Amino acid sequence: MTASGEFSLIERYFRRPAPSGMLGVGDDCALLSPAQGCELAVSTDMLVEGRHFFPDADPRQLGHKALAVNLSDLAAMGARPLACTLALSLPRVDEAWLQGFSEGFHALAKEAQCPLVGGDTTGGAPGVVLCITVMGQVRRHQALRRDAARVGDDIWVSGTLGAADIALRLAQGRLPADAARLKAALPFLQCPTPRLKLGRYLAGVAHAAIDISDGLLQDLGHILKASQCAADVWLDALPPNPVLQGLPPEIRQDALLAGGDAYELCFTAHTRRREQIEILSRQLDLPLSRVGVVRRGQGLRVLDADGQEIPVTRRGFDHFSDNPDHG
């Protein structure tokens, strides 16, 4: 890419007026002013064509999703977005692709009040590579850290689970074709909603939180490991997405427990917060389900309605050294 080509691309597709009090695209660095008494929360994610998204992914949806998954990390920390940066490697200059991508990106950036304030643009790699950094702010000592779960905490999950997983299986032909189900499930995979409002309300209310990107069991496992606790999860309490209706029980169970790309929040809170969390659920018009309890010890059990442990095939317990399946 020639230097002049690069600059005009940035001007056209990525430069937007920065909010007052901020210096955005165009200088050597962006300048931000976090509020007093706040900590800066920073997270970076890289998305590689062919690995994290299909080469023929709709660019507008990709622009949305690439930012959404990063904003989800801010939500899981209880942080309010401040600004983001975008590093982009493009195999060729495709104006229609850039137009769609930047529209999807900026639309969500605007909605989430997370302006794009800088980045880098280059070529050379055979596919598109995206690297997004989000910065947010959270009141000191209120961030929802993974190591903050306590024995006796309730475990909660926002929204519903399983839809993105089913969409991916259908799209990849790992489930028998079902056009109606795919149509209902795809928006959950392509257009996740970062739970920013929920995360902000939970800061100072909940203890630990994580966003469900790799599956509930695996992600809750990160909280348990960091907090040195165990947990019971009640299968019947998990909130199934309506698209799971009518699927074989083992697929349903696997989508609920191990399905990725959900971008819902899993969080733990003291039992005396129940009423407050139920009120919050009504205020946000977002289901918040109490799905388990944090216990002393190590490991994670899934229990049926009778309190019997359910064997789980796909656990995603890579990080638990006591799991014989995954070392």
Axis crossing angle, helix 95-111 with helix 59-77, rounded to the nearest 10: 30
Q: Please tell me the chain's helix, strand, coil percentages from 3-state DSSP, rounded to the nearest 5.
A: 35, 25, 40
Residue 302, SS3 per DSSP: strand
List binders of ligand ADP among 22-61 (CB under 6 A).
Answer: 25-28
Minimal CB distance residue for Mg ion? 120
The DSSP symbol for 141 reads T
Question: Which of 61, 72, 121, 218: binder of ligand ADP (CB under 6 A)?
Answer: 121
Piece of the chain touching Mg ion by CB under 5 A; list 74-82, 83-91, 114-122, 166-174 = 114-122
> Should residue 97 be labelled a site residue for ligand ADP when binding is judged by CB under 6 A?
no
Using CB under 6 A, pick the residue from 119, 136, 159, 194 that binds ligand ADP: 119
Q: How far is CA 250 from CA 235, 246, 256, 271, in A?
A: 12, 11, 10, 31
Judged by CB under 6 A, does residue 116 bind ligand ADP?
Answer: yes
| Binding of ligand ADP by 243 (CB under 6 A) | no
Q: Which of residues 192-221 bind ligand ADP (CB under 6 A)?
A: none
Residues whose CB is less than 8 angstroms from the CB of residue 186 and which lie 6 or more positions away in sequence, other chains included: 167, 171
Q: Does 27 bind Mg ion (CB under 5 A)?
A: no
Site for ligand ADP in 54-93 (CB under 6 A): 86, 88
Is 296:151 a contact under the CB 8 Å cutoff?
yes
With the CA atoms of 139, 142, 146 and 148 taken in that order, what torsion angle do they form, in degrees rounded to the nearest 10?
160
Q: Does 14 bind ligand ADP (CB under 6 A)?
A: yes
Q: Is residue 275 at the binding interface for ligand ADP, with CB under 6 A as the rule?
A: no
In the bound complex, what is the minimum distance in angstroms from residue 90's beta carbon to Mg ion? 14
Report the residue from 11, 27, 95, 120 that binds Mg ion according to the rule CB under 5 A.
120
- State the Cα–Cα distance between residues 264 and 284, nearest whole angstrom: 14
Q: Which residues bind Mg ion (CB under 5 A)?
A: 120
Q: Which residues bind ligand ADP (CB under 6 A)?
A: 10, 14, 25-28, 86, 88, 116, 118-121
